[in-house]
Amino acid sequence: MDTQDILVHTEAGVTTLTFNRADKKNSITEAMYAAMADALQAARADGAVRCVVFQGDMAVFSAGNDIADFLQQAQGAGRAPAGERPVWRFLREISTFPKPLLAAVCGPAVGIGTTLLLHCDLVYAGDNAAFALPFVNLGLCPEAASSLLLPQMLGYHRAAEALLLGEPFLAEAALEVGLVNRVVPPAECNALAQAQARKLAAKPLAALVETKRLMKAGQASQVAARMQEEGESFGRLMAGAAAKEAFTAFMAKRKPDFSNC
C-alpha cells in the first residue's frame, strides 16, 4: 500500500523507511503499517538489499499508534481475521526479517515506536530520545513480543518498571541497558545509522543472514507464540472497561479514572 506518510528509498543496498508524518508526531496508521509490511516483504525478496533502516526526524521518531485510526480499525476489526490486518503483517515481517535491521531514534518513541526496536539489530539514538511503553496506562498489555524480549534485554525489574509504570526513560538509560548502541546529537543520528548500514551493505549477504540467524536461533518460535498470546490478551483487554475509559479520556483530553476498573 502506498502512502506518503512512510517514505521508502533504496540505494546502495540499503532500504530506508522514514516516518513522514511529523505534524502528527509520526503516529502510525493502518495504512502506514501496510506500507512498512509491503516494504519489508520487498526488501526480503530483493537480493540487492542487504539491510533496512527505520528513521524519523530530529524531533520525533514515533508517538506510537494513531489513536483515532486505531479505534476506528479496532471497531471494524471483525471484518477481517486479525492476522491479516496490516499491524500484524508488520509485526510478523519485522520479527522474522532475515537481514539486518537498524533504527535511528530521535525524540519520542512511544509504544510500537519502542517495541519495534526490540527486533532491530542496531539502534542509534539522539540524546533527545525518550522511550515509553504506556500499555497498562491505556488498559492494555504489551505487544510485539515485548513482554518476552524486554525482560531478556533489561532484566525483569527494569522491564517491570518500564511496562507496569509506563513512564518514559531517556537515551542514556536506554544505552545503559543495551536497548541502543550509541547516543549522539540528534543532527547526527540518521547519518550515523546510514553510515553503519552502508558498512553492512558492503558485506556478504549470506554471512550477514546466517550470523543473525545463529544469534536468534531458538528465539523465533518463542517470539511467535508470545505475539499470539499478547494479541489474544490485547483483544480481550481492548473490550474491557479500563481501555474504554482510557481512550475516552484521551479523546476528551482528561485524566482517566480507573477507580471502577
Q: Alpha-carbon distance 56 to 156, whole Å?
A: 29
Tell me which residue of 166, 188, 21 sits closest to 104, measured CA to CA.
188
What pLDDT band is residue 1 in, cutting at 50, 70 and 90? low
Q: What is the pLDDT of residue 144?
A: 97
pLDDT of amino acid 103: 99
**Position 191 in a domain:** no
Torsion angles phi and psi, residue 108, rounded to 5: -65, 140
The answer as to whether 201 is a domain residue is: no
> Would you call 11 helix, strand, or coil by DSSP?
strand
Cell of residue 20, nine digits: 513522514
Q: Which domain holds residue 5?
A: 1-184+212-261
Check pLDDT > 60 for residue 78: no
192 lies in some domain = no
Question: Is the residue at 203 inside a domain?
Answer: no
Q: Which residue has the higher pLDDT, 73 or 208?
A: 208
With respect to residue 45, please indicate whether it lies within any of the assigned structural domains.
Answer: yes
Percent of the chain with pLDDT over 70: 95
Q: The domain that contains 69 carries what CATH number?
A: 3.90.226.10
Name the pLDDT band for 75 (thresholds 50, 70, 90).
low
> In 80-232, where do the E strands start and end?
101-105, 108-110, 122-126, 130-132, 169-170, 182-184
**Strand pairing category for 130-132 and 122-126:** unpaired
Taking the C-alpha atoms of residue 213 and residue 220, their distance in angstroms, rounded to an integer, is: 9
64 assigned to some structural domain: yes
Tell me if 204 is assigned to some domain.
no
Task: Name the amino acid, one letter, at 249.
Answer: A
Residue 235 has what pLDDT?
92
User: In the structure, what pLDDT confidence band is assigned to residue 3 with cuts at 50, 70 and 90?
Assistant: confident
Q: Is the dihedral of CA 236, 29, 84, 92 positive or negative?
A: negative
| Residue of higher predicted confidence among 214 and 74 | 214
Looking at the 3D structure of the chain, how many domains does it have? 1
Output the pLDDT for position 234.
94
Decide if 38 is inside a domain. Answer: yes
Mean pLDDT to the nearest integer, 81-106: 91
Can you give the pTM of this predicted structure? 0.94
Task: Provide, rounded to the nearest whole percent, the portion of the chain with pLDDT above 90.
Answer: 90
